[in-house]
Structure 1
Amino acid sequence: MTMKVRGLRWWMIGLLTLGTITNYLARSSLSVAAPTVLHHLNISTHEYGWITGAFLVMYPIGAPLTGYLMDRVGLRMGFLLCGVAWSLICMAHGFVQGWVGLFVLRGVLGLVEASFIPGGMRAAAYWFPPHERGTAAGVFNLGTSTGAILAPPLIAWSILHYSWQTAFVIVGCIGLVWAGLWLTFYRHPDRHPALSQEEAGYIGVTGEAARHTSAEPGPKVLEILRQRNFWGIALPRFFADPVWGTLVYWMPLYLYQARGFDLKAIALTAWLPFVAADLGCMVGGPLSAWLKRHFDLPIVNGKRAVFTMAAVLMVGMTGVGLVSSPAMAVFLLCLGGFAHQTLSITVISMSADLFPRREVGTVTGLAAFVAGLGNFAFTMTMGWFVSRVGYTPFFVALGLGDLIGATLLWTLVKPSGTVSPGVARQEARA
């Protein structure tokens, strides 16, 4: 008889968090190594903009594709395929000879790395009851900032002790180890032998629900796109995601070019905004649940309120390029990281509140596609203009964009009481 594990849902989301860490280690590795790689391969800032743009143009394409993949083949096989793929692609970075090779690899990497948010939200929808999904989303999103925190010291250490090529190989090997762990330990909740009957009832996995899981129809993309709730959570992400793209892809280069930081200084400071982002991950979900518990505010309205408060905090990021002190600039970047992850968790997790579980991966992926368009447009504009006008205007735009997103979130998303009966039945079961 298989031993039952208490709180198994948290172990599963913890396993997913480890995968997110490897995802972001692979994603962040080039930005940390950029000063060295650009020098050794004679790559210009404009070409670097195209390299990062390749990731960002393929990432939004990959999000709905991988989200649909997760909804069709399941998380176990879907994440295994994507995890192995992003690890091997990261390792291949160490064998390129010029910017074109990096351009191609970053594009393919964006295609498969887009899987973690739609897959993660699908996991949260099936493994957690509605009031815990925001917190679950915050937990697995800890991997984004944790991976970005670990990347600067790991990549810098690898470059200083070995080479920039070895750095990419090391990160890829870490990803392959996680893929093995995922294959070994993850199962869908209605098939996991370690899930207790008590926890199964708590998260909504009943015998009846399990029998109907395989019979559920697949997600219908066109129907999703016709719903205002979809655009209500997708458009705010269009304005929000460029903040994260800037922190991940441009912040080390900004500190190097505009603030005069060397590689060691970048390694000592570039992780700080991601520590603040970790705190933001753990604020959005619990705060919206606290608003419901103490003020009887519906969970969707609570998330909208948290998004708005974080958008106001984000205004502080407008001063990053205006302050003279490098320390103050880093502090404002930290404030931006905290505010962004706070609001990001709330809007991402709303897909599980507004849509049926079987559609959550696809909905989240489609919303990520819209967010990726904003990220791509911003980074391509940034890559061309940085050498001409500097970084300051872009930080001003980043600081104000989420106020537009908050307005759209309140305008387009229906109150929680008006969600479809299918969703309401699922909420009741969970």
Structure 2
Amino acid sequence: MTPVETSKMTNFRWVICGMLFMATTINYMDRQVLSLLNTNYISTEFHWDNDDYGTITAIFSLFYAFISLFAGRFIDWMGTKKGYIWAIVVWSIGACLHAGCGVATCWLNDIDSIETLRTVEKASQVGLFGLTASVWLFIACRMILAMGESGNFPAAIKVTAEYFPKKDRALATSIFNAGASIGALIAPLTIPALADAFGWEMAFIIIGAIGFVWAGLWVFVYTSPVKSRFVNKSELIYIESDREVEAIDAATADEADNGPKFSLLDCFKYRQTWAFIVGKLFTDGVWWFFLFWAPDYFNQLGYPVTTMTGKMLLFVLYLIVTVVSIYGGYLPKLFVEKRGMNPYIGRMRAMLIFAFFPIFAMFAQPLSGISPWIPAVIIGLAGAGHQAWSANLYSTIGDMFPKSAVATITGIGTMFGGLCSFAINKTSGVLFDYAEAQGEAFTFFGQTGKPAGYMIVFCYCAVAYLIGWVIMKALVPKYKPVVVE
């Protein structure tokens, strides 16, 4: 055996995975602040209804979708290190800017204070101007947030493709993707408490500022594997094991990482791209619906986030998501190592299993009358299914595309996922206001009023993944890496 083969392998790739986990956690905490403070803190000051809130979240999703088309290209062009720093700094600035929306609304409408705005009747001229101004100010801040956040997953998936062999990518992705669940888990326990102690404005600023700390750490921690002083030769050979070579030098590794160049339009020529698009288009909106509307859902059940029960319901929901979803990365690894499947087939088999988890969502509303903990558990299982599905879906890009195109393809798929989120969030806001206004005259599957509206959306959530999987399988029935001619 050579000295390289006998030397103990370093594990710096898992430190990098930890950094990706931290970034994704921060990402989702910043995204969650508005949904947690909307019903009990912000809407009362600005006189928003469900449609107003739905409009803000929908435009955020739409702009996120649009900018994601270019975010991946930006990451591929700028490079992983600089691109990730730009992304998190921009979204942290956007998160902090939300804190100024109240003051800006008062200034634009010549109102002396937030307290005065709170007492203004919504139907009055001042109230309408205040409503319009506040909605657009929050939309502007959400667009800046979206601009930065759109770079998180393209950058993270690109880093994963750089630091992990194919058989480990789903596991690494499931770990950093669990940051979405951890962020959503921590948020209900911290954000309302910050708002109670310091005001809702400071909650945005404190949570937003964490991103700047991460950016400072990333400057010192990240370099490519071939250049990192923390990665020894044994670990580098393991990272590059898919290339089936005995030794790797910096020149050949850099050449492989550059790979063939894709134009944005070229990406749409491949069935593999469209399979990823379908997987995102049908399912991303489900997760964003849970993220943006879960606090309101438990509020209409009588458990707002201002109560301990409301906080714990959200905590339990995302605890289930976190614990269950992490194992989503182990399943394809098991299929590959124990059953001898290639990584793509193993991932698709795992995704089919996880596609059945959200089916339970259709029972959340009917069983909520027994106990609010039942829908918390059910939505938690559905969310866990999504996160496990998502981790494996992202990993299919690295299976079939060269590293030079990974961030670009991720951005394209994320754009279509954002379109799904736009549709679900805007439709939900309009639907809930309409259903609430109709009361018992609006019925669906035994539910009436706003609960019937939730029942409709839950039914879509239940079947979205199975539909997406079937279409993906039809587009790419077996492992077929992209070959650029």
Q: TM-score, normalised by structure 1?
A: 0.93
User: Where does structure 1 lack aligned partners over 5 or more consecutive residues?
Assistant: 424-430
Q: Return the alpha-carbon distance in structure 2 between the equivalents of residues 160 and 167 of structure 1.
A: 9
Superposed CA offset, 1:44-63 (max 9, x none): 22111111012101111222
CA contact (8 A) 1:55 1:111 kept: no
Superposed CA offset, 1:371-409 (max 9, x none): 111111111111110122321110111111111011112
2:11 aligned residue: 7
Does residue 19 (structure 1) correspond to residue 23 (structure 2)? The answer is: yes
What is the CA-CA distance between 1:22 and the residue it aligns to? 1.1
CA contact (8 A) 2:257 2:403 kept: no
Match for residue 363 of structure 2 among 285, 306, 319: 319
Q: SS at the partner of 2:341?
A: coil
CA contact (8 A) 1:85 1:112 kept: yes
CA contact (8 A) 2:272 2:475 kept: yes
Q: Return the alpha-carbon distance in structure 1 between the equivalents of residues 260 and 408 of structure 2.
A: 13
Match for residue 47 of structure 1 among 46, 52, 58: 52
Read off the aligned partner of 1:12 and give its amino acid letter. I
What is the CA-CA distance between 1:263 and the residue it aligns to? 1.6
2:205 aligned residue: 169
User: Where does structure 2 lack aligned partners over 5 or more consecutive residues?
Assistant: 1-7, 103-133, 241-247, 436-449
Does residue 159 (structure 1) correspond to residue 164 (structure 2)? The answer is: no
Q: Return the alpha-carbon distance in structure 2 between the equivalents of residues 108 and 78 of structure 1.
A: 16
1:329 aligned residue: 375
Match for residue 197 of structure 1 among 195, 218, 233: 233
Query: Which of 296-305 and 7-16 deviates more?
Result: 296-305
CA contact (8 A) 2:283 2:464 kept: yes
CA contact (8 A) 2:167 2:336 kept: no
Superposed CA offset, 1:304-341 (max 9, x none): 11111111121101111222231111111111111111
Q: What do you get for the CA RMSD once the two structures are aligned?
A: 1.8
Q: SS at the partner of 1:330?
A: helix
Does residue 149 (structure 1) correspond to residue 185 (structure 2)? The answer is: yes
Q: Return the alpha-carbon distance in structure 1 between the equivalents of residues 467 and 302 of structure 2.
A: 30
5 Å matches for 1:45-194?
45-97=50-102, 98-194=134-230
Does residue 304 (structure 1) correspond to residue 340 (structure 2)? The answer is: no
Read off the aligned partner of 1:224 and give its amino acid letter. C
2:270 aligned residue: 227
Q: Return the alpha-carbon distance in structure 2 between the equivalents of residues 223 and 259 of structure 1.
A: 51
Q: SS at the partner of 2:296?
A: helix
Q: Return the alpha-carbon distance in structure 2 between the equivalents of residues 211 and 345 of structure 1.
A: 26
Q: Return the alpha-carbon distance in structure 2 between the equivalents of residues 224 and 170 of structure 1.
A: 40
1:286 aligned residue: 330
Q: SS at the partner of 1:322?
A: helix
Q: SS at the partner of 1:353?
A: helix
Aligned pairs, number:
419
Overall identity of the aligned pairs, in %: 26
Read off the aligned partner of 1:419 and give its amino acid letter. P
Read off the aligned partner of 1:51 and give its amino acid letter. I
CA contact (8 A) 1:53 1:380 kept: yes
5 Å matches for 1:393-408?
393-408=456-471
CA contact (8 A) 1:320 1:332 kept: yes
Of structures 1 and 2, the larger Rg is shown by 2
Query: Which of 359-368 and 228-237 deviates more?
Result: 228-237
Q: Return the alpha-carbon distance in structure 1 between the equivalents of residues 329 and 257 of structure 2.
A: 30
1:426 aligned residue: none
